Structure 1
Amino acid sequence: MANSIRVAAAQMTSVNDLATNFATCSRLAKEAASAGAKLLCFPENFSYVGSLQGDSIKIAERLDGPIINKYCSLARESNIWLSLGGFQEKGSDEAHLRNTHVLIDDSGNIKTTYSKMHLFDVDVPGGAVYKESSFTEAGNDIVAVDSPFGRLGLTVCYDLRFPEVYQQLRFHQNAQVLLVPAAFTTVTGQAHWEILLRARAIETQCYVIAAAQAGKHNDKRESYGDTLIIDPWGTIVGRLPDRLSTGIAVADIDFSLIDSVRAKMPISMHRKPIEFWKSV
């Protein structure tokens, strides 16, 4: 493995048109490849954001369907790995889908998938009411995989609020880079997005790549944006000039920095099992 390797994270405003979103993703893939990136991470709902409740169910497909096949071809033609941050995969019945993070290599092969574990059932203060579980099946498995970019830990959006997932990825799955594709609301994004991402990087001593949806998708839905790449010391090393434009953030994964941070502050050696005692 090289001492460092370039990665990119996309920021975009997906709409309710598969072809339009694919055209945006294709342009960003070419831009990332031209910048020397070997991995491009797209945000949650990269391929589609519906205007009406139930729209996502209607377009949901299997992983061997035409939507993912197009993105596999895009990865192969662009000679770049793609992290597809949250795809509407068909669920076990007609009323549900799975919010699935799909990782595709530069030959166009699916390397692994992860289904979002934590579903966004929230009444956002000052915002809308969301109930993702009404149409989405939760995943059960934590997923990490080896790659040219180190060992990648896959998550999706609302998982970010559950640090135990990232602790598992780092200390049990040996992750070096954590992928956090998202479509954060404007209210929660402004309050917590950067803080949570930097905390996950610091407490796991991993790089964090957070590709974000940005801006108004339709009259009812808006995302916060602010795509970030953060190093294991919690320093932001990649960011777009503003949090709403479509584009890519680029940074280098420096494996020697991961090793240095972990050697100088060896929290993996200092961690102790915590037992929770029930009061009698």
Structure 2
Amino acid sequence: MTLAAVGQFCASSIIETNTIRCCDLIKKAAQQGAKMLFLPEAADYISETKEQAGALATTLNESAFLQGLQQTAQEEQIWVSAGVHEKCVDDENDQQRIYNTHVVIDQTGTIVSTYRKVHLFDVDIQNGPRLMESDSTRPGTTLAPILPSPIGSLGLQICYDLRFAELSIHQRRQGAQILTFPSAFTVKTGMAHWETLLRARAIETQCYVAAAAQVGQHNAKRTSFGHAMIIDPWGTVLARCPDTSSPSLALANIDLDYLDSIRTDMPVMTHRRNDLYPPL
């Protein structure tokens, strides 16, 4: 078994402050024996306007936030996952938008995988916020390969991707043992769906789920639900962060022998009737 941690905090538009908070969580996770820490979506900053979001974005190589995480990961000898904003430089006609990117850093401080969010959160919730992610964010066009790590094989996703079961089932078929969802759910959707969706993805794929989360009021327009958690392949919540906007961790053991036993006892992937419906 290996120990994993998920982090939760309230990001602001001040990158330096967010970097300090995240590096502190990295140090605390390592001190408690975790081999990997998962940080939330948009861990580098949450802006007040789409114009500010674009102005603050950099390439991954230029990101002072990522440089701080890389240095701390190397010092603490721990893997780190985090969601960040990435400046769009590969399309001259679309440089006003950014990518919502999931980055994984190994214990040497090297970025070993990246994934750009493919499902964008464009919703107008009755009695809730109107959020049009595509106004400021460009969708990714590829999926990240399953990534070996000290705690198991990782399937990289981000927040709203959680609602599309096909992606999780595909990653299970590709060899994922742990599905990762750095997130910033709204309060309304979080209260209704967050834990239910996370547990459903764990149960139907027989994977561990690591779901880091933004929490609290970021600015006058945006508040996040929180409730970061780790779930086992049976759908049991092993650990969750407290309901507070203060930075916090939740830690749980990842037991791949237990995962294998669940998949052996209930081999749902081999029971699929792909003669009757398309394989996912």
Taking the aligned partners of 1:140 and 1:179, their CA distance within structure 2 comes to 18
Give matches, 1:52-91, under 5 Å.
52-67=49-64, 68-84=66-82, 86-91=83-88
**1:154 and 2:156 are equivalent in the alignment:** yes
**Aligned 8 A contact 1:227 1:243 in 2:** no
Cα deviation for residue 271 of structure 1 reads: 1.4
One-letter code of the match for 1:162? Answer: F
Q: Which residue number corresponds to residue 125 of structure 1?
A: 126
One-letter code of the match for 2:80? Answer: L
One-letter code of the match for 1:165? Answer: L
Taking the aligned partners of 2:277 and 2:232, their CA distance within structure 1 comes to 31
Taking the aligned partners of 2:46 and 2:245, their CA distance within structure 1 comes to 16
Q: Which residue number corresponds to residue 243 of structure 2?
A: 242
**Aligned 8 A contact 2:50 2:135 in 1:** no
**1:167 and 2:169 are equivalent in the alignment:** yes
Taking the aligned partners of 1:209 and 1:243, their CA distance within structure 2 comes to 19
Gaps of 5+ in 2: none
CA displacement 1:144-197 (0-9 Å, x = unmatched)? 2111111100000000110000010001x1100000010000000000000000
TM-score scaled by length of structure 2: 0.94
**Aligned 8 A contact 2:50 2:136 in 1:** no
Taking the aligned partners of 1:179 and 1:230, their CA distance within structure 2 comes to 11
**1:21 and 2:18 are equivalent in the alignment:** yes
**1:36 and 2:39 are equivalent in the alignment:** no
Cα deviation for residue 243 of structure 1 reads: 5.2
Residues 243, 113 of structure 1: alpha-carbon distance in 2 compared, 3 angstrom cutoff: same
Cα deviation for residue 140 of structure 1 reads: 2.0
Q: Which residue number corresponds to residue 11 of structure 1?
A: 8
Q: Which residue number corresponds to residue 184 of structure 1?
A: 185
One-letter code of the match for 2:219? Answer: N
| Larger proportion of strand | 1
Taking the aligned partners of 2:69 and 2:33, their CA distance within structure 1 comes to 19
Query: Please, which moves more after superposition, 73-82 or 150-159?
Result: 73-82
**Aligned 8 A contact 1:39 1:82 in 2:** yes
**Aligned 8 A contact 2:104 2:112 in 1:** yes
One-letter code of the match for 1:150? Answer: G
One-letter code of the match for 1:191? Answer: A
Taking the aligned partners of 1:120 and 1:82, their CA distance within structure 2 comes to 25
One-letter code of the match for 1:6? Answer: L
Cα deviation for residue 38 of structure 1 reads: 0.8
Gaps of 5+ in 1: none
Cα deviation for residue 240 of structure 1 reads: 1.9
**RMSD (Å) for aligned C-alpha atoms:** 1.2
TM-score scaled by length of structure 1: 0.94
Taking the aligned partners of 1:121 and 1:114, their CA distance within structure 2 comes to 19
**Aligned 8 A contact 1:103 1:111 in 2:** yes
Taking the aligned partners of 1:221 and 1:66, their CA distance within structure 2 comes to 24
CA displacement 1:239-259 (0-9 Å, x = unmatched)? 123254420000010011100
Give matches, 1:225-236, under 5 Å.
225-236=226-237
SS at match of 1:269: coil
Taking the aligned partners of 2:224 and 2:244, their CA distance within structure 1 comes to 10
Taking the aligned partners of 2:175 and 2:273, their CA distance within structure 1 comes to 17
Cα deviation for residue 66 of structure 1 reads: 3.5
